[in-house]
Amino acid sequence: MTDPAPDADDRGEPDRERCYCRLNPLFDLLSRRHAMGVVCIVGAAQPVRYSEIEATFGEVSSSTLSARLDELTEAGLLDREQRETIPPHVEYALTDDGERLRERLEPVRRWTADRSERSDGR
């Protein structure tokens, strides 16, 4: 008899506590257009205003950027602070969870860059 997979319980069934499928909601959010860019930009220059995020992206529609900011805020990865000034002043910063996520994405970013460099040399 073979040992069960490391992601399986003693009956060979997927272990829900260790299964990557628990990542699906997060990956669904992060795979949306510009979501990981928002995490990167806000993490690098926080707090940051909407106009600064928009300027860093260049070609991004305001509706798409607003949707990503709202989704990341709702997911608890961004804090949104609005100051009652004229004109309104809104700043975004990573929450503690958002900062931990950014830290964990950094090795993946480096791995991707290294992999890209290796494939360019083929």
Nearest to 72 by CA among 101, 103, 52: 101
Tens digits of residue pLDDT in 54-81: 999 888 999 999 999 999 999 999 999 9
Query: With bands split at pLDDT 50, 70 and 90, how would you rate the model's confidence at 1?
Result: very low
Distance in angstroms (rounded) separating the CA atoms of residues 23 and 42: 22
Question: What is residue 92's three-state secondary structure?
Answer: strand
Which stretches of 1-122 are assigned E, i.e. beta strand? 48-49, 78-83, 89-94
Contact 89, 49 (CB under 8 A): yes
Judged against a pLDDT cut of 80, whether residue 7 lies above it is answered with no
Q: Would you say how long the chain is, in residues?
A: 122
Judge if pTM exceeds 0.85: no
Query: With bands split at pLDDT 50, 70 and 90, how would you rate the model's confidence at 22?
Result: confident
CATH topology of domain 20-114: Arc Repressor Mutant, subunit A (1.10.10)
H-helix or E-strand spanning residue 37 = helix 35-45
